Amino acid sequence: MAPVALVTGAAGGLGEAIVRALAAAGFTLGLGYHRASEATERLRQDLPRGDHFAVAAPVTDSAALASMAANVEARCGRCDVLVNCAGTTRFVAHADLDGLDDALFNSIFAVNVRGAFAAVRALKSLLERSDLPGGGVVVNISSIASVIAMGSNVAYCASKAALDNMTRSLARALAPRIRVLAVAPGLVDTEFVKSLDQAWRDEQAARTPLARLARPQEIAAAVVAAVTQLTFTTGSIIAVDGGRPLN
């Protein structure tokens, strides 16, 4: 049977690119979703032939994630890769402390940090059984916001810094059977970003040494490389940011 990869937030702009790249690399895909069940099913149907499947994976619900893991085991008997791509945020100016209310702050950390941990916890026993070169793999989708402290809001930046730290902690804790890495994009030119103000997008590109935004396919390629090529790498944060922190 083909190796199995479970991607949370599969129907999002980055999630879709990652799903397509892993499917092209020969993986059977579990497409995790919370509310976007219809979009996820459309994506599944559009993938190359294979035993791909959509599965409910609301990362803030640990009981539901346990059911998801049981579903994956019953269907596939294995899970070799987990990509934690589910995330949430909302634009709030960093100086607007009142605009970043407790509910939004808690929601961002619940999804971006606790949710990633809960998904690893749910799939740990399956990932430990993987016979991939280098063992099972967790790839957390982070952001350069964790380094430059610039992003959609203060809590989002802090959540990605926490995710990077957790990546290193889990890499130590789960070795040698499971490798844990993070891929940290700069601003990615997803359909959502393309809908934003063109002058703002041009400014972001101009601040990047490589003078453009990242393409979703470039983030997906880094995920595939982390899984299939970097078999002696764990605990690393792989930047795909065009050199943005250099400015």
- The reported pLDDT for the residue numbered 196 is 81
Closest CA to 125 of 167, 181, 66, 55: 66
- The reported pLDDT for the residue numbered 136 is 98
Sorted by sequence, the CB contacts under 8 Å of residue 17 that are 6+ apart come out as 216, 217, 219, 220
- Rounded to two decimals, the pTM is 0.96
Catalytic residues: 156
Identify the CATH homologous superfamily for domain 4-246: NAD(P)-binding Rossmann-like Domain (3.40.50.720)
> pLDDT by residue (tens digit) across 188-206?
998 888 888 899 889 999 9
CB neighbourhood size of 123 (10 A)? 26
